[in-house]
Amino acid sequence: MKLANTIIIGLATATLLILGCSAKPSVSEESLGLRKSDLYTESNATRGDQTKYGTSVAGSGHKIPRAFQDAPPMIPHDTEGMLPITIDNNQCVSCHMPEVASSMGATPVPASHLTNFRPVTALSKDGQLTANGAVVTNTSSEKQEDISIKSTDGKLSNARFNCSACHAPQSEGIAVENNFKPVFTSKDGANKSSWNGAKMLEGLNTAEGK
């Protein structure tokens, strides 16, 4: 009796499997993705919004409002021939370093770009990680004593060399609308940086400061 039951269940499962395999697919290709056309068509409808970077030349006076207080401003001018930035070719500095900026009509890099925030990290003889000579467990500490805030004496901090890591040219054609409305903490925050002096210490954990 037990064996017969097992055989019946086995047969039923096999029938279901065969039926399942021969059933027509119920999901159409057109409904699979967001593009609403089959996977073999490349028409304008499937290409989406094109990226159109601004072409206004540097010096035209065009500025793009900041996304939030002290956000890296977007590049408002054409960057044709300037990117990618390489060790031998960084045209950005030839207009934006403070010593040349005013003669080029450009905004000089702010104080933060002339500051070294990186502590001197090293391994001690017994294999412990040190920052500015003191033993630390990791180098991403937010404690003030583990952070170095040193002027680079007017030289661009190496951490800021690759401008396009933070500053991007803006493109037209909105893929996804941005509904974020910034509240600026300084009056001219939409087009000016305020992050310098004592402000650079804000948010650092100084409670345990030594």
Task: Give the nearer residue to ligand HEC in terms of CB position, either 6 or 56.
Answer: 56
CA dihedral (164, 167, 172, 175) positive or negative: positive
Task: Give the nearer residue to ligand HEC in terms of CB position, either 131 or 193.
Answer: 193
- DSSP state for residue 201 in the 8-state scheme: G
Query: At its nearest, how many Å lie between ligand HEC and the CB of residue 58?
Result: 3
**Residue of 32, 68, 74, 29 whose CA lies nearest to 53:** 74
Q: Are 170 and 55 in contact (CB under 8 A)?
A: no
Q: Which residues sit at the interface with ligand HEC, rule CB under 6 A?
A: 58-63, 70, 72-73, 75-77, 79, 82-83, 91-96, 104-107, 109-110, 112-113, 156, 160, 162-167, 191-193, 195
Query: At its nearest, how many Å lie between ligand HEC and the CB of residue 170?
Result: 10
Task: Give the nearer residue to ligand HEC in terms of CB position, either 130 or 148.
Answer: 148
- Neighbouring CB atoms inside 10 A of 98's CB total 15
Task: Give the nearer residue to ligand HEC in terms of CB position, either 94 or 206.
Answer: 94
Task: Give the nearer residue to ligand HEC in terms of CB position, either 81 or 209.
Answer: 81
Query: At its nearest, how many Å lie between ligand HEC and the CB of residue 118?
Result: 12
Q: Are 152 and 158 in contact (CB under 8 A)?
A: no
Query: At its nearest, how many Å lie between ligand HEC and the CB of residue 156?
Result: 6
Q: For residues 193 and 111, what is the distance between their CA atoms, to the nearest angstrom?
A: 9
How far is residue 54 from each of residues 70, 76, 77, 94, measured CA to CA in Å?
22, 7, 6, 21
Query: At its nearest, how many Å lie between ligand HEC and the CB of residue 83?
Result: 6
